[in-house]
Amino acid sequence: MKKTIFTIIFLICSIFIGGCSESNNISSPENSVTANPNNSPSNSVIKENPQKNSQPTQDSNISQQPSIKNENPSFGTIKDMQNGDLKCYVSVVDGNGKLYEGVGATFDVCKPDKYVNKNVNLFYELEDVNDCQSAEPCGKTIKEWLITKIEIRD
């Protein structure tokens, strides 16, 4: 009888330990690289999981952060600028005539009267943007390249 109980306990523990080790190999969708919400191929984004402290933060060494490729134009003609809930949305035509819609910008550079239909240089920084449906904070952020400075070209 004691041998049977010991065998059953051993099997249950083995199953429990085996199940725990397999769950560590499953990647969380919250930490995966995704496209931005408007599905524009020009903006790359990384979702962050605010509950885990193992993820690099903006204060960490930059070399530890995963690289996010910025495929937005560095110069062109601004065709439209609109303030949204989370950021400013800019439409830019580059030197080859390619239209980039929904390029993100910080609110402080969103001045349509000053920049629309102007030939400009665009400067970007990797910024945290709320990953929410509105301007209300929800605790989730994504890293995204945003226009932080605009210079009118002569």
Q: Cα dist. 23→12, 18, 29, 35, 61 in Å?
A: 17, 9, 14, 26, 30
pLDDT reading at 16 higher than 50:
yes
Q: Sign of torsion, CA 62 68 69 74?
A: negative
Q: What is the pTM of this model?
A: 0.56
Query: Hey, is 59 helix, strand or coil?
Result: coil
Cβ neighbours for 43, distance < 8 A, ≥ 6 positions apart: 35, 36, 71, 72, 102, 103, 104, 144, 145
Collapsed DSSP state (helix, strand, coil) of residue 72: coil
Collapsing DSSP to helix, strand or coil, 138 comes out as: coil
pLDDT, one tens digit per residue, over 89-143 is 999 999 999 999 999 999 999 999 999 999 999 999 999 988 877 767 788 889 9
Element containing residue 14 per DSSP (H, E) = helix 2-23
pLDDT score of 9: 77
What is the share, in percent, of the chain residues with pLDDT greater than 90? Answer: 42
φ, ψ at 15 (rounded to 5°): -65, -45
